[in-house]
Amino acid sequence: MDTGNTGFMLIASSLVMLMTPGLAFFYGGLVSRKNVLTIMIQSFVSMGVTTVLWVAVGYSLCFSGDVGGIIGNLDHAFLMGISPMQAFSQTNNLPVFVVIAYQMMFAIITPALITGAFANRVTFKAYLIFLIAWLLFVYFPFVHMVWGGGILQQWGVLDFAGGIVVHAIAGMAALASVIFVGKRRVADSGPHSIPLVALGTGLLWFGWYGFNAGSEFKVDAITGLAFLNTDVAASFAATAWLFIAWRVEKKPKFLGLLTGAVAGLATITPAAGYVSTMDAALIGIIAGLVCYVAVSFKNKIGWDDALDVWGVHGVGGCLGIILLGIFAKTSINPSGADGLLLGNTGFFVKECVSVIIACVYAFIFTYVMLKVINLFTEVKVSEQAEEQGLDDALHGETAYI
């Protein structure tokens, strides 16, 4: 076992774990005072429930065997047959337990991203059912298809750290959730604590270095490239969002700067280890502009995506995959591919087709799943609970005295 790579991946796993509390703070600051704990518990409970599901069947369904190129099998359910000294693969000398832990952190945060879309509207019981079903039938299959030897990986689709696997499917699931639950009956007073949003953004940005650089699964030049590209794209996107919003809204908004940074982070995720740093800067600028337009479009047509999950993560993830198909260079990473700018139309088409398939499936399945859940337990909270505030109505707790 390579102790240096193993130590690095344990640190990367810890960084990705920190992103989920960061997300809780980010979302918590964006809602009103009476709904802070409700949105935060939806992130934190994923750390518990998803870990249980991951150990029971999740890792095995993602990375053990193959059933039709879509999903794995249950050979390693409850981590059976895996020893502490076992390597992940013949070409990767990391202990498999380290990879299990790292990928588990991805599984924890992905469904938590969706919660920002239906803030203040969903019962806790329905959310728990949603969390488990979505992981089993959306997240685990796409991990297997893209990273676990499934059909998309065999086809040559690339996704360095989760443009499809994390952001695109979470963003489209968020849109389906918004359409299903409808608008909030009680108008939210808006962000109650932008400093909390800033704290959450800082934790997310910090953790994202583990998210992207760790996806190389070893320490080499590509690790450093992914790390630098992550920061560059986030910074350029934040700046682009700040200035376009300043021009449109007449004042430079701190919240816009923070949201732009997250949009840049989401967009560079699939491309971080496959493009040059100058391309990452351009990707950041495009992310800031396109995601700002997407959020403005959402507001114009009246989708009540409370915390802009579709506009930031959904659009950002899809955009990142498309831009990867354009800017990828084997001169940067020989394990990648050449993109459209270097004449590889086939790779560009594969990236576009794969993200369309992922988005359509995630949207349809999520919408149908919510309909089914609603047959057994009410998904949307009552108007009285919205008036009272979900912290007190659902959990009997309040964030502030």
366, two tokens: 């999520």
Per-residue confidence at 95, pLDDT binned at 50, 70, 90?
very high
Given a cut of 70, whether residue 90 has pLDDT beyond it is no
190-242 pLDDT per residue, tens: 899 999 999 999 999 999 999 999 999 999 999 999 999 999 999 999 999 99
**pLDDT, position 89:** 72
- pLDDT tens for residues 331-343? 999 999 999 999 9
**Computed from CA positions of residues 219, 222, 227, 228, in that sequence, does the dihedral angle turn out positive or negative?**
positive
Q: State the pTM of this model.
A: 0.96
Q: Decide if pLDDT at 351 tops 80.
A: yes
Q: Match domain 3-386 to its CATH number in 3.40.50.1820, 1.10.3430.10, 2.60.40.10, 1.20.120.80.
A: 1.10.3430.10
In the chain, domain spans: 3-386
pLDDT above 90 for 91: no
CA atoms within 13 A on the CB side of 136: 13
Q: What is the band of 361 on the pLDDT scale with cuts at 50, 70, 90?
A: very high
Averaged confidence pLDDT in the chain = 96
10-33 per-position pLDDT tens digit: 999 999 999 999 999 999 999 999
- Helix crossing, 254-268 with 194-213: angle to 10°? 20
